[in-house]
Amino acid sequence: MELTITQPDDWHLHLRDGVLLEAVAPNSARHFKRAIVMPNLKPPITTTAAAVAYQESILKALPADSDFTPLMTLYLTDTTSPNEIKLARKSGIVFAVKLYPAGATTNSQDGVTDLFGKCLPVLEEMVQHNMPLLVHGEVTDPEVDVFDREKVFINTILRPLVEKLPQLKVVMEHITTLDAVRFVESCTEGYIAATVTPQHLLLNRNALFQGGLQPHNYCLPVLKREIHRQAIVSAVTSGSKRFFLGTDSAPHERQRKECPCGCAGIYNAPVALSLYTKVFEEANALDKLEAFTSFNGPDFYGLPRNKSKIKLIKTPWKVPESYAFASGEIIPMFAGQTLEWLPSIVA
């Protein structure tokens, strides 16, 4: 059995920098035509000039024959200026601004502490330039249970934001709950959308603890109950235009995952398309796969759909146990396991 679909884009990707960038960029470029690249480096990508330099680094890390296009983002801070949004739009390479609540996830310590008090002029400028806001949708209040952080964020931050700026385009990244599904579906189509990862479609929070603590299944937002996983699967396989592919592939060196304070992030770039296809096949919705992987994202961003194609062949293949690079190794999602769908670029 084979499927041929329009080549997908990845609308939420971490490529890191340095030797880690060189190790992981080719794996994303092998399957995806474009990707929205996250700006949470050290230091973060807070200016258009920094985004230009980072894009150049990514392009240098790609194989010589690659036509992969990194779509850059800016890291929103309390001091981001409206003029920076004008520069970003004029650059032609920056396509969104990322909101990290301070302390919410990896390298988010420079994130926003007061969205409405300090960032409103920037958000209003983004409306003028049709620049999407990409949201890590979790509160960071230590009094809030970690499994409720997304739900509380929706009620205290996201819903008021949408009411205050209804023309602002917002992508709720890597949604994990029934609450997020219901929120996105309740909003005006074309203004609020969501990306969905392979891990949140296939794993529930049991995967963190089965057979002992599983650090390579630890990501943020953390995996949730089975009822939430099922709700997300139903949403993405329904054919709704509001949901699209965003892997949140987040590589960390093995020793930084398997340590007393392990990093959050799942490296899924080599297996993502295989896993999305598995989800849609199990839901008897393979006819809806192409829209989710290849149409809904560019349509929301106002970008052309890709012309290139990719073939998905139903044939068993084994995921490598690890990927070696200059400073160590990276463990991919479902390492050592056999998957049933093998992506192959159509020449």
Buried b (16+ CB within 10 A) or exposed e, 20-39: bbbbbbebbbbbbbbbbbbb
Catalytic residues: 12, 14, 98, 136, 174, 248
* pLDDT attached to residue 232: 98
Map out the domains of the chain with their CATH numbers. 2-345 (3.20.20.140)
Identify the band that residue 178 occupies on the pLDDT scale cut at 50, 70 and 90. very high
Q: Is 191 exposed, middle or buried (0-12, 13-18, 19+ CB in 10 A)?
A: middle
What pTM was computed for the model? 0.97
* pLDDT attached to residue 105: 83
Whether 108 has a pLDDT exceeding 90, the answer reads no
* pLDDT attached to residue 106: 81
Across residues 39-45, what is the average pLDDT?
Answer: 96
Identify the band that residue 103 occupies on the pLDDT scale cut at 50, 70 and 90. confident
Query: Taking the C-alpha atoms of 276, 4, 296 and 342 in order, what is their torsion angle to the nearest 10 degrees?
Result: 20
* pLDDT attached to residue 347: 56
Average pLDDT, rounded, for the chain:
97
User: How far apart are alpha carbons 153 and 156 in whole angstroms?
Assistant: 5
